[in-house]
Amino acid sequence: MKKHLKIYIFLILLLVFIAACSSSKIIRTSKSETAASSAKIFKREAEVSYYAEKFNGRKTANGTTFSNSKLTAAHRTLPFKTKLKVTNIVNNKSVIVEVNDRGPQKTSRELDLSKRA
């Protein structure tokens, strides 16, 4: 398992949705245009790990029940409900996960991912 963790280094595109900047002008846009323009994109290569099976069914930091079958992640500082696009640079597969917990405990890792992710 540790060998697999060392193999998996992920490129993380952090899509942080924040409120649009205020303006004295009133501009009408569609919802899709607003969402696209307010998204902040950061690229980062980092080492991540998976949750152990013993955490399945336990409460996460935001109060939800953890499930390894959902696409979720733990991050030390990102707000809960932040959506992240995580790409495995070994096989180039990507998934979108939602931050719902705090972690990982090991400081050399950026994220803890559910097994489904």
Domain boundaries, the chain: 2-18+29-113
The pLDDT score that the predictor gives to residue 11 is 38
Supply 17's token pair. Answer: 């949705």
Full-model pTM: 0.66
Predicted pLDDT of residue 3:
52
For residue 44, name the pLDDT band (cuts at 50, 70, 90): confident
Q: What confidence score (pLDDT) does residue 37 get?
A: 53
Cα 90 to Cα 7, 9, 108: the distances in Å are 8, 8, 19
pLDDT digits (tens, 9 = 90+) for 71-110: 999 999 999 999 999 999 889 999 999 999 999 988 889 9
Domain 2-18+29-113 carries which CATH code?
Answer: 2.40.40.10
